[in-house]
Amino acid sequence: MKRFAIIGSALAMHVSLGLFARASDCGALKTPQDLITAAFEQSPKIQRAMKSLEQAAEQEGKAGQFTNPDLESKGVAGRNLGDQIFQVEVSLSQSIDLSGKRSSRVGVARGEKQLSEAELRAAKEEVFLDTALALNRLRQVQLEREILNEA
């Protein structure tokens, strides 16, 4: 029975520490809040969601910008019947968005950003629940271990 308690304790500890990549990066974990904070900092799910949110924020800024104008040039130089000839052709074109295309792009980008924010909140909630459940299980195993030690 003691063997089960030791294995259970080790398993619960492994689960709680396995929620983040490297326990050494988290510093001293003295309270459950420290462990939850470390889990938030090290969770791949949260890191992916944060990068997705950063990308969506950049896309929102990009969607509101005007496109750059196109500049094209052609040049010809040479001689024709003894005369020096230079010919240059320059073309400048600018796209103009009509009928609210730009505002539609900005709206879509804002929606993507809000979706990324919701995904980040969901990832944080999931990591918090996993960490809290692992901590609770660790506490239960420690109590069971104390009861077994008394018996």
**Of the ranges 39-48, 98-107, 122-131, which one carries the lowest mean pLDDT score?**
98-107
* Residue 48, phi then psi, degrees to nearest 5: -65, -45
Share of the chain above pLDDT 90, in %: 38
The pLDDT assigned to 4 comes to: 44
Q: Which of 124, 106, 127 is nearest to 56 (CA)?
A: 106
Average pLDDT, integer, range 77-99: 86
Mean pLDDT (the chain) is 82
Name the one residue in this structure whose structure tokens are 């988290």: 26
Average pLDDT, integer, range 63-81: 86
Q: Is the pTM of this model over 0.85?
A: no
* CA end-to-end distance (rounded Å), the chain: 10
Q: What is the pLDDT of residues 6-63, one digit of tens each?
A: 444 444 454 454 544 444 555 677 887 888 889 999 999 999 999 999 999 999 888 8
In angstroms, rounded to a whole number, what is the distance separating the alpha carbons of residues 59 and 78? 48
